[in-house]
Amino acid sequence: MSEQCFFEVDLAEVHGKGEFLAAVAKAIHAPDWFGHNLDALADALGDLSWTRDGGKGYVLLFHHADESLHLDTADHAAVTQIFADTVSYWKLQGKPFWVFID
């Protein structure tokens, strides 16, 4: 079984949802269909078929993040729900998905 598939997202220069989505897309090497909106984020995190096998799970690590992930209140709530849904989905697939904020 392979190791975790590890994605690092640098939020040092991120100011708002568009830049947040671009940073995540870059970190996960999102495919061309990634639409840079919250629905696309949810779809991508629930797919990850273009990445190497996350045999022992997936890790999404955010660097240089503040408590809000540099998002406004509504977007932060939506992203938090996407993360929760993603964790639940991958758990059902037998692969853990972790989100860490540094």
Instruction: Calculate the average pLDDT of the chain.
Output: 94
Architecture of the domain spanning 5-101 = 2-Layer Sandwich (3.30)
Q: DSSP 3-state assignment of 81?
A: helix
pLDDT band at 54 (very low <50, low <70, confident <90, very high): low
Average pLDDT over residues 43-50: 95
pLDDT of 2: 59
From CA 99, how far away is CA 92, in angstroms rounded? 17
Every domain of the chain and the residues it spans: 5-101
pLDDT band at 1 (very low <50, low <70, confident <90, very high): very low
Evaluate if pTM is beyond 0.95.
no
